[in-house]
Amino acid sequence: MPDQHPDGEVLEQFLGGGLSAEASRALQRHVLLCPACEERLIGLLPAKPQEANEGSVRRLLDGSLPKLSRRRRRLRAERSAAATLWQELESQDSARRRILIAQDFRFQSWGFFELLLEHAFQAVRADPRGAEELLRLALDVADQLDPGEHGPGAVEAAKARAWTHLGNALRVLEEFRLAETAFETAGFHLSRSWLDPLDEALLLECRANLRRAQRRFAEAMEMIDGAVAIYREIREPQLQGRALMTRGQILQYQGDTEEAADCFRSCLSLLEDAWSLALCWGNLAGCLQEAGHNAEAAALLPAARRVVEQTGTRTELLRLRWTEARVAAGLGQSAEAEAAFLEVRQVFLDGSFAFDAALVSLDLAALYLRQGRVKETKSLAAEILPVFRSREVHRDALAAVIVFQRAAELENLTLGLVEEIGARLRNARTSPPAPSPKGEGKESSKPL
């Protein structure tokens, strides 16, 4: 993903030696990879060489303009060729792809590495398994990059970035132990790189998302606050807004819905791309619903739906539909809520998303309980239990669903018990699974 271009003030600070060491390294890296910013920087040089600062600018430019020019031409050619190379690679199976990257120098380029990373970044929302495969290919490419051509710090930074994105894809896939290992590997490569603050912040942000999913909220908050501080310091408003959105999600997971809503509101003035804005609007609406502000949430939903329909994935539309159902239930619109809950629940069941199907069933059960519809509540519980029994799930989750089924069958299910079962399910979803009889967890057999 391309970095934000530095403005004139930042370039002048660099020429005057006024940037911190980390910010200076980040700008040097950007200039080496961005022809437009290279031209802008050269245009700001004083007319007479003796007027130039003897520090940063000499280290970057003295005797290196021919090298910069060659590097710029080569990178432009690599980027131009990357799409065609991907078309050639895309038709091959996984094993053949790795062989080609190892043996064919055409695939061993920085431009092709960038393209794989970009494709993975776009794919992780809708196809995290596909994103994982792309990132493993990117790591293969990074292993082939020439430190003599790019600089050892640059190659280490590339590896750190790829491992960070791989950890995030594994987190989305709920393979938390593998994600942790990937992030540790990313940190190792980052320590050997030129310590770009953007790479450091991205790693903190992705690890915070993992800690949120693991319900280790104190650690998650410390990490995301670190990422927000870095993005703010290097003046990256879009990335700062994205990190603040993660902060809001952490607060929402903790149950601090009012503070989370304030956090989501603050993101809206920072975010720029349509997808991030759509996600933020959806998160804000869901947060307001959880806080009991259903009317305010309902007012946001039409705008959120318009943007999500334009830029979102099928999963994001489904989750927005789930929020719409909960808002309708909160406003007493029982028929609309029931139809939406049933729609969402069926999609989750068809897609084998047992946890989500169970959680929607609990929402629907609460709606039925308020209406005194005991028969329908029993049917819900009876249908969801076989789904859990047929899959490898945490024992606590299975126990929670059994409690749900038995309480419904005995007609002593209450709204309070529904809420308690839902909380237990959410906790079980992110707790480490019990060891198998051989002492190996589900994820341990898959190597990084």
- Whether residues 321 and 359 share a domain: the answer is no
pTM confidence score: 0.76
- Whether residues 309 and 368 share a domain: the answer is no
Question: Per residue in 405-440, pLDDT tens?
Answer: 888 887 878 888 888 888 777 776 655 544 444 433
CA atoms within 13 A on the CB side of 313: 11
Tally of domains in the chain: 2
Q: What is the pLDDT of residue 391?
A: 57
Rounded distance between C-alpha atoms, residue 220 and residue 392, angstroms: 27
- Whether residues 369 and 419 share a domain: the answer is yes
Q: Residue written as tokens 């029994």?
A: 389
In a domain, 291, yes or no: yes
Rounded distance between C-alpha atoms, residue 162 and residue 10, angstroms: 27
Non-local (6+) Cβ contacts of 340 within 8 A are: 321, 322, 324, 325, 328
Question: Per residue in 232-271, pLDDT tens?
Answer: 988 899 999 999 999 999 999 888 999 999 999 999 889 9
Residues of the chain with pLDDT under 70: 1-4, 29, 32-36, 38-39, 42-69, 352, 388-396, 428-448
Q: Which domain holds residue 374?
A: 345-431
In a domain, 350, yes or no: yes
- Whether residues 419 and 349 share a domain: the answer is yes
In a domain, 41, yes or no: no
Between the alpha carbon of residue 206 and those of residues 161, 220, 407, the distances in Å are: 11, 10, 39
- Whether residues 323 and 391 share a domain: the answer is no
In a domain, 411, yes or no: yes
Q: What is the pLDDT of residue 407?
A: 85
Q: What is the pLDDT of residue 392?
A: 54
Q: What is the pLDDT of residue 121?
A: 94
- Whether residues 357 and 423 share a domain: the answer is yes
- Whether residues 354 and 404 share a domain: the answer is yes
Rounded distance between C-alpha atoms, residue 336 and residue 326, angstroms: 10
In a domain, 264, yes or no: no
In a domain, 30, yes or no: no
In a domain, 381, yes or no: yes
Q: What is the pLDDT of residue 447?
A: 42
Non-local (6+) Cβ contacts of 326 within 8 A are: 286, 289, 337, 363
Beta strands in 61-191 (DSSP E): none
In a domain, 101, yes or no: no
Q: Is residue 36 a contact partner of residue 208, using CB atoms and an 8 Å limit?
A: no
Non-local (6+) Cβ contacts of 381 within 8 A are: 361, 365, 401, 404, 405, 407, 408, 409, 413
